């Protein structure tokens, strides 16, 4: 049965409604629970797809449908553009420190991939997630300890998944090793930069919010429990946050005083995760958040064969202790 023009116009408005709701949630930051939280990770895809209700509304000659679809598309596009950030002024002089974060995909990433990342990129501090005892042993056998001889590995607690372990490997000695509470282990430790200033690194791995309301609650709790910048140490959070800039919970973390290294260089929309055997979707799940007193000189995204995450490699300028 062929729809009458009035019915086509009504359906054009109805068809635009999901994008309007999505835009309202993203702009207001009011997404809560499952499935809204995991859905918001796909905001860039939703923004691109607004051409569909817009085209349908134009074809139906629905002025209201066109307005709803166009307004939704503009709001989503503005949000996605804003996630990118802008390149700020050049980092102030300071001792160089190169930090990288890498996910070992349940310990299955070939150790040669990690060793090559460290060697090629000249990494000083490596934050690793999804480490298993077997992966730790194979990394040692592959020679990681010769490049980064100092390690702080926190094994998965009893009852957790074996890949719930986390690790930090360092070129220089580590001090004050600890662990940040969360669903998975999140080791932290301090290292002295070349000028003697200490920097604390936390290897972040929050619970993924993708499967259930309980998973979303665990993810929210993990993000809320992350450390904040403090006056007595220069702190860095690096790892798999399982959160994109379109998540209000991650934006709340950043508002506590952090600088997103990628966003500080206008790279905040650069993807870090995709399914291993599929080209899409591509999500921004890995971040390096730094104390604002640290300068961000560079940020690159490096493919690690065998991992579904790209490594994020950040060059920091560490100020002298008396500055």
pLDDT band for 1, please (50, 70, 90 cuts).
very low
Q: What is the pTM of this model?
A: 0.95
Convert the pLDDT of each residue in 194-237 to its tens digit.
999 999 999 999 999 999 999 999 999 999 999 999 999 999 99
What pLDDT does 142 receive? 98
Beta pairing class for 95-103 and 125-131: parallel
Confidence of residue 2 (pLDDT cuts 50, 70, 90): low
Q: Which CATH number, 3.60.10.10, 3.40.630.30, 3.40.50.10860, 3.10.580.10, labels domain 95-318? A: 3.60.10.10
Q: Within 13 Å, how many C-alpha atoms sit on residue 155's CB side?
A: 7
In the chain, where the domains are located:
5-84, 95-318
Terminal Cα distance for the chain, rounded: 75
The string of pLDDT tens digits covering residues 239-293 is: 999 999 999 999 999 999 999 999 999 999 999 999 998 999 999 999 999 999 9
CA distance 157 to 184: 8
Q: 241 φ, ψ to 5°?
A: -85, -10
């Amino acid at each position: 049965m062929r729809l009458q023009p009035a019915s086509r116009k009504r359906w054009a408005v109805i068809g635009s409604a999901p994008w309007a709701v999505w835009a309202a949630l993203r702009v207001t930051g009011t997404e809560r629970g499952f499935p809204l939280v995991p859905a918001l990770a796909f905001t860039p895809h939703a923004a691109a797809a607004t051409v569909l209700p817009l085209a349908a509304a134009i074809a139906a000659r629905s002025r209201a449908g066109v307005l709803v679809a166009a307004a939704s598309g503009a709001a989503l596009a503005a949000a996605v553009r804003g996630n990118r950030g802008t390149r700020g002024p050049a980092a102030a002089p300071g001792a160089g420190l190169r930090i990288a974060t890498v996910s070992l995909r349940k310990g299955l990433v070939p150790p040669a991939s990690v060793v090559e990342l460290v060697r090629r990129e000249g990494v000083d501090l490596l934050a690793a997630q999804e480490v298993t005892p077997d992966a730790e042993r194979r990394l040692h056998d592959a020679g990681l300890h010769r490049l980064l001889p100092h390690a702080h590995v926190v094994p998965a607690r009893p009852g957790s998944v074996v890949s719930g372990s986390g690790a930090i490997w360092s070129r220089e000695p580590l001090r004050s090793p600890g662990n940040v509470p969360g669903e998975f282990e999140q080791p932290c430790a301090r290292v002295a930069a070349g000028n003697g200033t200490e920097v604390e690194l936390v290897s972040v791995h929050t619970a993924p919010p993708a499967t259930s309301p309980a998973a979303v609650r665990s993810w929210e709790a993990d993000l809320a429990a992350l450390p904040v910048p403090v006056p007595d140490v220069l702190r860095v959070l690096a790892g798999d946050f399982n959160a994109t800039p379109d998540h209000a919970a991650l934006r709340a973390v950043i508002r506590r005083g952090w600088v997103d290294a990628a966003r500080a260089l206008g790279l905040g929309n650069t993807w870090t995760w995709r399914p291993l055997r599929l080209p899409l979707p591509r999500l921004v799940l890995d971040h390096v958040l730094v104390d604002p007193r640290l300068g961000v000189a560079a940020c690159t995204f490096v493919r690690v064969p065998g991992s579904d995450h790209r490594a994020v490699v950040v060059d920091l300028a560490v100020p002298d202790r008396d500055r």
